[in-house]
Structure 1
Amino acid sequence: MPAGKSMNVKVSSMESEMEFSITLATTGKQLFEQVIKTIGLRELWYFGLSFIDNTGQETWLKLNKKVKDQDLPKDLDKLEFNFRAKFYPEDATDELIQDITVHLFFLQVKEAILNDSIYCPPEAAVLLASYAMQAKFGNHQEKHVGDIEKDIEHGKVLPKRVKELHPNFSSEDWAKKISEWHAEHKGMIREDAMKEYLKIAQDLDMYGVSYFSIKNKKGTDLLLGVDALGINVYEKDNKLTPRIGFPWSEISNISFSGRNFTIKPLDKKAPDFVLRVDKPKTNKIILAICMGNHELYLRRRKPDTIEVQQMKSEARALTEKRQADRERQERERRQLEIAEQRARELEEKLQQAEIEKQKREQELKESQEENSKLRSQLGSVQADIENMERERAELLEEKENLAQKVSEGEMTKEEYNRRMIEIQEEYKHVQERLDNKEQEAETLKESLTLTKQEKEAELIKYQEEMERKLMEEEERKLALEQQASQFADENRKLQVQAQLAEQLRKQQLEDAQANQQQFNYSRPTSTVSNSGDANNHHQAEDHIEDENEVATFSSEGVSNMDSELNRVTAVAQDKSLNTKLKELSNDLNSVREQKQLSDNDKIHQDNVKKGRDKYKTLNLIRKGNTKSRVNEFEAM
């Protein structure tokens, strides 16, 4: 470690990096407290500071010891620690209180799934990715598909294994599939999306499990898994399906001596469960993880402390306020959508009215043209009538002249009679034509008058109606536009307030970090006397120093010890989601390259065929008495 009176420390959380300057007297607890103070975290019992020790092994910083006295790597100008979740809740959606706690767990679990530290089947990976996208982008929009595709290509959305398992499925195909699910989360706020992510992820077999290489008395290489529900034994090459399980409720105490680790059951008839590790230091780590998990297991089954009750009360108040704000924003959004829809409808009506007006004007124009044609036809008919009247007059005049010609002897009686017959025939013909033309003229006059009067009256009436409607629509449109503008202004104010609040939070974080960069720890280590202290489990596990340690597990005052046995997965509880995931699994199976199946893929498929899930397996491996399970372990 660096020489001198002070040390530079960098602490990386899942969302930020912090730098501190500490003294040689600074303890792990003081550094840890400063980190959680900077982050603004109160649910500190889940977290710890991890680092790579001088042997290259990842370990956890002990809070009761000075930082400089721990197995720090040598020849480093700056000490580096990771602020990570050390213990996991049984049910993240019920137990995690603060938004920052949910966010840190979300980021850590997501990273573990993406790098395959937690195995996740392809269909569940798509579902989880959709919640991650809701947390990142909010409600789905088409423009997000391209962003999701880019994130997929950079390994930020799906495990690399899932992509390799479906080589013919492009990043664009995955983005579209994820977007389909993303669209179904409309209206879900960021915090709820992260909780839904954890709700699904916590049912994965490897979630929250700390694995250690062990051996039984026969020397068989096995794995020990420690999690929130107890201790399980796995075959060396199968981290998904435990073979034997010991719940915390069955364990009396845990101890180690050298490389031997002993679990003493509550059942006095059962022999001790003894396992062996390669390094004594591993036993210290196992014991610390067991103690911390057992402590939280008991805490969950006891009444909440005053501090936790207060935190939950504050969280409920925040949730209620957030829900009220969300409902108000949703109401305003709907009202804005309605106003915008009405404005669009009014605009369409105005456009339709304008089209109708143009149509009527065209009809009037056509009517005027038709009238012009009628007048032209009437003029032609009237001209024909005048010509026929002249012809008739000429025949009558000729008839009178013929009688005079006969009296004067210019025409014989026979010629007169013949000509009179001709004149009468011609007169009759002319009169018939004249009657027809006069009838035609009357018809044209009637048509002309009717068309003109009707069209003019209709147009006048329509124009008056249109002017009235246009005025009404314009007034309504103006009112709706004012209303929409008001809603938009209110939404902008809310967005500005949210941005200012986020900026203030970031500024406070930056100020806290800046103030602590020059902070020198010189305070003495505080003594924990209250058994309800939030980090009491850290104090207990940090006192593991000797090569022989014993931790006694008491369940006094604890109820509902084996409640996890009645638990079912979130997917199994939601029939609709279960059906859709099965359909997605079938779709993906059609494009799956079977040769690319990993060992975990094959194990998972076998478990699915057998109808197993995390909790069904848990029930199965706890069957029988403790003695029979210890014997089974020794026989492995």
Structure 2
Amino acid sequence: MPANFSKVGNTWSVNDGKKKRSKSSDECLSVRVTTMDADLEFSVPKKITGRELFELVCRTIGLRETWYFGLQFINKKGYFGWISFDLRITSQDIKKAENAKFFPEDVSEELIQIITQHLFFLQVKQSVLNMDIYCPPEASVLLASYAVQAKYGDYCDMNIDICELALEELLPQRVLDQYQMTCEMWEDKIKTWWMNNKRMTKEEAELEYLRIAQDLDMYGMQYFPINNRKESNLWLGVGPLGLNVYEKNNKLIPKASFAWSEIRNIAYKEKKFLIRTLDKNSVATVSFTSQNVAVNKVILDLCIGNHSLYLRRRQPDTLEAEKQKLEKEQERRVQAEKERDRMQQELTKLKEQIAAAQEALKRSEETADLLAEKAQISEEEAFVLTKRAADAEAEIQRMRIAAIRNEEEKYSMERKAREAELIAARMVEESENRAREAQKLKNDLMRAYNAEQLAKSKLREVMTSPFSPMPLTNNYEFPTGGQDRVHLVCSPIADHCTFSGMASHTDPVGAERDIKSLSAEIEKERVEYLKKSKHLQEQLSELRSEIEGLKVEEQQTDLDRAYQESLQLGDDKYTTLRKSGAGSAKSRVALFDEFESDENLCVIVVFFSIMLY
């Protein structure tokens, strides 16, 4: 009957299988050996022994430290066992297997090959996760940090999230269930330890994992249910240091231990198992019963193997072990040389990087100095630009002020021009009024003179004519122009006349001379005023043309617009006055009542005219 062989960790197992259907099916078997990281399939002869198959597997995976390993299986009754090296595999009660067989006491001293160390790492790690080996929570986190270091290398922020790895692959489920911690909290704990493993290689991380694990209480122990003489249910633990007896509910703290050095003989008969120990000169025998004979066979096999390894560790190394250790030392030396070369290369690279960094620093300093100079120049330019901007702003402000002043001056000049026009018009009007008054006065004087001559002639006639008792009184009222009146009262008794409040003895020749002189002076003043007014009008026109380009239409008032309209129509003040003087007196009185400013102007003009003459 063909068989399948399986190995978990550093434990090789053989599982049931079927014959390979081929021409040589009667001579060969298809065998599958399962390790922690690979499945191996072989086509082997039916007559192959356990030792030959084991050596074939070891050669295939490159394993030379074979004394720790074996091919384990579960028999048809459900108990696990180990392939016997001296018997054919077809003659053994093979069904299935799972665990490791032997464990070293000190992994750092005993394990030589990297492959051996790796297989132990996989087996122990799986045992910890399966809770076959009890591991405290804090130690579980530490072991998890070594596991991720071995798998992913140094920690960095770009590493895969631990939660994505499934914490069940890093921590025992028991630990996860015992704490109310989220995945992120566990992740932070593991990362904290992970960061401490920097620059640790995969092999170093696996070795550190095993160093921590070998100090656990259940490391390397294989438990078997037994009964003592009182039929108490106990556990028998077989490990690299000896035999331990545990209570049924406590596999951590043994109730009794027997080192391999004090065990003299081990034997079993059917279900009964006997262990003879050496206590000085006396011999003690430990007796217990197992579940069946097959279990006793397994216990005996493990005891023999562990005892042999125990003695082997304390004896000089064999030639094979010495050779392997020398090879390991050689590998370590080569590895150290490679590491030294790598470190030298890294050192050279670091020196080059330092030199490059220094050169870059030097260039950076030069660049910094250049940038500082540029910054200073930029600051100076910025200062100059700021000053120019300030000057430009000041110039703009001055221009604004000048524009405002020009606007004010324009308004002032326009106002002065209007005032000058008003003054010129007033002077022209006054000149005309004065000329009219002078002419009127001249006419009045001539009439008065004629009347006086007539009165004198009549008086002489009366004086020469016969006396008449009838008094002669002549009151003569001169016609007036406008609102001025001149009264002349003549009396037959007194040879004099009174004129408008002025008492004088008038000489006809002198009066005529005075009138002519006054008329000439008035005419001269009028001609000079007209010339001056004409020149003033020309200057006003030039000024108006100059300021026309500076006009801001938005700033024009209603008065400005009205003046421009009047100027375009060709109207001046006098034309306006003539127009305003047209119409009936009633309409002008009504208009006069509405505009007091016009009334005041008329009163001033009339009063000025009266006082002038």
TM-score normalised by the shorter chain: which range applies? 0.5 to 0.7
Q: Distance in 1 between matches of 2:366 and 2:185?
A: 43
Q: Distance in 2 between matches of 1:359 and 1:159?
A: 63
* Residues 268-283 of structure 1 aligned to structure 2 (within 5 Å): 268-283=281-296
Shift of residue 69, structure 1, vs aligned partner:
0.7
What secondary structure is seen at the aligned counterpart in 1 of 2:284?
coil
Report the Cα distance in structure 1 between the residues aligned to 2:307 and 2:176, rounded to whole angstroms: 38
Counterpart CA distance in 2 for 1:173 and 1:145 is 16
- Matched-pair contact (CA < 8 Å) for 1:103–1:194: yes
Match of 1:111 among 126, 138, 152: 126
1:151 paired residue among 153, 165, 176: 165
Distance in structure 1 (CA, Å) of the matches to 2:284 and 2:210:
38
Instruction: Note if contact 2:224-2:236 (Cα within 8 Å) is conserved in structure 1.
Output: yes
Q: 1:21 to 1:163 in 2, by over 3 A?
A: same
Query: What is the TM-score of this pair, normalised by structure 1?
Result: 0.55
Report the equivalent of 2:235.
Answer: 223
Residue type of the partner of 2:381?
Answer: K
Which residue number corresponds to residue 295 of structure 1? 308
| Pairwise CA distance, 1:151 | 1.8
3-state SS in 1 of match to 2:282: coil
Could you tell me which amino acid in structure 2 is paired with residue 24 of structure 1? K
Instruction: Give the corresponding residue for 1:356.
Output: 372
1:361-400 counterparts in 2 under 5 A?
Answer: 361-366=377-382, 368-369=384-385
- Residue 253 of structure 1 pairs with residue 265 of structure 2: yes
Query: Is structure 2 residue 198 aligned with structure 1 residue 186?
Result: yes
From 44, 62, 69, give the equivalent of 1:22: 44
Q: For 1:208 and 1:70, how far apart are their aligned partners in 2?
A: 26
Counterpart among 325, 329, 335 of residue 322 in structure 1 = 335
Against the structure 1 CA distance between its residues 40 and 346, is the aligned structure 2 distance closer, same or farther, given a 3 Å change threshold? farther
Alignment of 1:218-617 (within 5 A): 218-267=230-279, 268-333=281-346, 335-337=348-350, 339-340=352-353, 342-343=356-357, 345=361, 349=365, 352-353=368-369, 355-366=371-382, 368-369=384-385
Deviation at 1:21?
1.0
Question: Structure 2: where are the runs of 5+ without partners?
Answer: 2-17, 20-24, 393-613
Residue in 2 that maps onto 1:162:
175
Does residue 200 (structure 1) correspond to residue 200 (structure 2)? The answer is no
What's the counterpart of residue 209 of structure 1? Answer: 221
Contact 2:243 2:258 in 1 (8 A): yes
State whether residues 11 and 81 of structure 1, in contact with CA within 8 Å, keep that contact through their aligned partners in structure 2.
no
Contact 2:79 2:295 in 1 (8 A): no
CA shift in 2, pair 1:108/1:351, >3 Å: farther
Q: CA deviation at 1:176?
A: 1.7
Q: Deviations over 1:467-499 (max 9, x none)?
A: xxxxxxxxxxxxxxxxxxxxxxxxxxxxxxxxx
Sort the Cα spacing of 1:171 and 1:329 in 2 relative to 1 into closer, same or farther, 3 A: farther
Q: Are 1:8 and 2:30 counterparts?
A: yes
Change over 3 Å in CA distance of 1:45–1:373 after alignment to 2: closer
Q: Secondary structure at the match of 2:145?
A: helix
- Name the CA shift for 1:137/1:212 in 2 (closer, same or farther; >3 Å): same
CA separation in 2, counterparts of 1:348 and 1:236?
A: 74
- Quote the residue 1:130 is aligned against: 145
Code of the residue aligned with 1:301 in structure 2: it is R
Deviations 1:291-336 (A, max 9, x none): 0000000000000001101100111111122223223333433554
Cα offset for 1:133? 1.4
Whether the 8 Å CA contact 1:152–1:175 is kept in 2: the answer is: no
Contact 1:145–1:179, Cα closer than 8 Å, also in 2: no
SS in 1 for 2:135: coil
Contact 1:262–1:273 (CA under 8 A) maintained in structure 2:
yes
Distance apart, 1:345 and its partner CA: 4.4
Note closer, same or farther for the CA distance 1:86–1:100 as it changes in structure 2 (3 Å cut).
same
Alignment match, 1:70: 92
Shift of 1:365: 1.6
Which whole-Å deviations, capped at 9, do the CAs of 1:415-469 have from their partners, x for residues lacking one? xxxxxxxxxxxxxxxxxxxxxxxxxxxxxxxxxxxxxxxxxxxxxxxxxxxxxxx
Q: For 1:271, what is the secondary structure of its paired residue?
A: strand
Contact in 2 for aligned 1:138/1:189 (Cα 8 Å)? yes
Q: Which residue of 2 aligns with 1:102?
A: 117
- The 8 Å contact of residues 12 and 81 in structure 1, kept in 2 or not, is answered as no
Per-residue deviation, 1:47: 0.3
User: What residue identity is the alignment partner of 2:113?
Assistant: Q
Q: 1:375 to 1:235 in 2, by over 3 A?
A: closer
Mapped partners of 2:57, 2:312: distance in 1 = 24
1:346 to 1:51, Cα distance in 2 relative to 1, 3 A? farther
Contact 1:145 1:175 in 2 (8 A): no
Native 8 Å contact 1:250 1:265 kept in 2: yes
Q: 1:347 to 1:131 in 2, by over 3 A?
A: farther
Equivalent-residue separation in structure 2 for 1:129 and 1:355 (angstroms): 52
Letter in 2 for 1:188: M
Change (3 A) 1:12 1:366: same
Per-residue displacement from partner, 1:489-523 (whole Å, max 9, x unpaired)?
Answer: xxxxxxxxxxxxxxxxxxxxxxxxxxxxxxxxxxx
Q: Give CA-to-partner distance per residue, 1:173-217, whole Å, 9 cap, x none.
A: 212211111111112111111111111100000000011111111
Count residues in correspondence.
368
Instruction: Find the aligned partners of 1:185 and 1:258 in 2 and give their Cα distance.
Output: 52
- Aligned-residue offset at 1:370: 7.5
Segments of 5+ residues of structure 1 without an aligned counterpart are: 74-79, 377-636
1:52 deviates by 2.2
Separation in 2 of the partners of 1:357 and 1:235?
85
2: CA distance, partners of 1:241 / 1:197:
23
C-alpha distance in 1 between matches for 2:325 and 2:309: 17
Q: Per the alignment, do residues 50 and 347 of structure 1 end up closer, same or farther by CA in structure 2, a change over 3 Å counting?
A: farther
Q: Write the mapping of 1:28-47 to structure 2, written as runs, cut at 5 A.
A: 28-47=50-69
Larger RCO: 1 or 2 (CA < 8 Å, sep 6+): 1
AA in 2 matched with 1:303:
P
Tell which structure's C-alpha radius of gyration is larger. 2
CA separation of 1:339 and 1:176: change in aligned 2, threshold 3 A: farther
Q: Name the CA shift for 1:303/1:369 in 2 (closer, same or farther; >3 Å).
A: same
Equivalents in 2 of 1:8, 1:351: separation in Å? 75
RMSD: 2.6
- 1:356 to partner: Cα distance: 2.4
SS in structure 1 at match of 2:48? coil
Answer yes or no: is the 8 Å Cα contact 2:244–2:257 preserved in 1.
yes
Query: Aligned equivalents of 1:12 and 1:178: distance in 2?
Result: 31
- Which of residues 36, 55, 63 in structure 1 aligns to 2:77? 55
Q: Secondary structure at the match of 2:321?
A: helix
- Mapped to 2, the partners of 1:85 and 1:114 lie a distance apart of 15
* Identity score, percent: 41
Partners of 2:260 and 2:102 in 1: CA distance? 15
Contact 1:7 / 1:22 at 8 angstroms: preserved in 2? yes
Write the distance in 2 (CA, Å) between the matches of 1:132 and 1:345: 41
What is the CA distance between 1:358 and its match in structure 2? 3.6
Contact map agreement 1:152 1:158 (CA 8 A) in 2: no
1: distance between equivalents of 2:271 and 2:390?
118
